[in-house]
């Protein structure tokens, strides 16, 4: 019995509805909280204090059809109107839902406590002394952390680290395979063009010229393969997906970015693979004896 059959059997036996989907971070805040954050309303308007309204990050709106402008989402004690879609650069805040803090407290019957506070100092130079004063005050029991560091910690989860490791591992395996493929291709090219190599040597071309010409050919072939790879990868540029966060047990979305810098790095890496794969065949071609090269043809 597979997992789907097991879940269906449990639903029928106990007459319950099991939850599905992903957890999303819901952040309640006061108007001052909105003023302290850097964001932009891309669609609609911001929520009004005292009303059951929410604004959703652009990553949430793009991944979940029910969280789009003009629709309603259900949590707490009822429905909430989606009145706006916001963006906050490349921050993890794009994976959050914002709403009025007092309305959120009422739905979950919580008092005036909060599990996190954002503080902005008028003088950035006093940040260290401010953090030290908070840590030394045993009555508060808080741990200050920079906002950038906080959002970075949300992405440093076992799932994201595994995805990074998997990406590097696949890249290395593909690079090794590509280097061997380039070596085999260039060895075949050298074998087919022995007479050409012998003729060039007889005309006075140096061994270095033979070596550099085959190396250049190998690099050009590798760059051509790199360009094809970039064209294949371009359709996923801007695609949004997400990973689970084990700190908040919520979904953190991210976008695939194929930037000009990434494309340049990919082409540079392809050229390096071409150079490594083509060196030994080019070296063998440059060492061929003139008479032996003409005889091998």
Q: What is the 3-state secondary structure (H, E, C) of 156-210?
A: CCHHHHHHHHHHHHHHHHHHHHHHHHHHHHHHHHHHHCHHHHHHHHHCCCCHHHH
Given this model, what pLDDT does residue 14 score? 43
How many Å apart are CA 245 and CA 38, to the nearest integer? 23
Given this model, what pLDDT does residue 135 score? 81
Given this model, what pLDDT does residue 21 score? 60
How far apart, in Å, are the Cα atoms of 163 and each of 157, 169, 192, 261? 10, 10, 43, 21
How many Å apart are CA 180 and CA 258, to the nearest integer? 27
CB-based contacts of 92, cutoff 8 Å, min separation 6: 151, 154, 155, 252
CB-based contacts of 289, cutoff 8 Å, min separation 6: none
Task: Identify any residues that bridge with 241 across adjacent strands, giving them in sequence order.
Answer: 254
Strand, helix or coil at 244?
strand
Q: What is the pTM of this model?
A: 0.56
pLDDT in tens, the chain (297 residues): 555 555 455 445 544 444 456 677 888 888 888 888 888 899 999 998 888 999 998 888 888 888 889 898 888 888 999 999 998 877 777 888 999 988 888 887 776 666 777 787 877 778 888 888 888 877 777 888 877 777 666 666 666 677 778 888 888 898 888 888 888 888 888 878 778 777 777 777 888 888 888 899 889 989 998 899 889 888 878 666 655 555 555 566 666 778 889 899 989 999 999 898 888 888 888 887 776 666 665
Residue 248: name the closest of 96, 119, 99, 143 by CA: 96
Given this model, what pLDDT does residue 98 score? 92
Here the tokens at position 210 are: 């033979």
Given this model, what pLDDT does residue 54 score? 93
Residue 258: name the closest of 227, 219, 221 by CA: 227
């Amino acid at each position: 019995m597979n997992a789907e059959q097991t879940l269906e059997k449990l639903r029928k036996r106990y007459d319950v509805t099991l939850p599905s989907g992903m957890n999303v971070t819901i952040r309640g805040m006061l108007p001052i909280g909105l003023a302290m954050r850097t964001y932009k309303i891309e669609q609609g308007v911001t929520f009004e204090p005292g009303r059951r309204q929410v604004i959703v990050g652009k990553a949430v709106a793009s991944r979940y059809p029910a969280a789009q402008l003009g629709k309603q989402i259900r949590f707490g004690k009822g429905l909430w109107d989606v009145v706006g879609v916001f963006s906050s650069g490349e921050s993890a805040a794009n994976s959050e839902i914002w709403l009025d803090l007092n309305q959120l407290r009422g739905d979950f019957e919580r008092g005036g406590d909060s599990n996190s506070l954002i503080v902005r100092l008028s003088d950035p130079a006093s940040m260290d002394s401010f953090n030290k004063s908070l840590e030394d005050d045993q009555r508060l029991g808080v741990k200050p952390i920079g906002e950038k560091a906080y959002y970075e910690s949300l992405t440093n989860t076992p799932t994201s680290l595994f995805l990074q490791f998997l990406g590097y591992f696949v890249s290395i395996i593909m690079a090794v395979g590509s280097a061997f493929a380039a070596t085999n291709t260039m060895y075949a090219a050298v074998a087919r063009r022995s007479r050409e190599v012998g003729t060039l040597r007889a005309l006075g071309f140096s061994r270095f010229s033979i070596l550099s010409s085959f190396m250049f050919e190998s690099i050009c072939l590798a760059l051509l393969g790199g360009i094809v790879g970039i064209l294949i990868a371009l359709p996923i540029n801007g695609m949004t997906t997400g990973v689970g966060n084990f700190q908040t047990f919520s979904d953190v979305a991210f976008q695939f970015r194929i930037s000009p810098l990434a494309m340049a790095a990919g082409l540079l890496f392809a050229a390096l693979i071409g150079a490594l794969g083509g060196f030994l065949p080019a070296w063998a071609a440059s060492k061929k004896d003139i008479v032996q090269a003409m005889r091998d043809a």
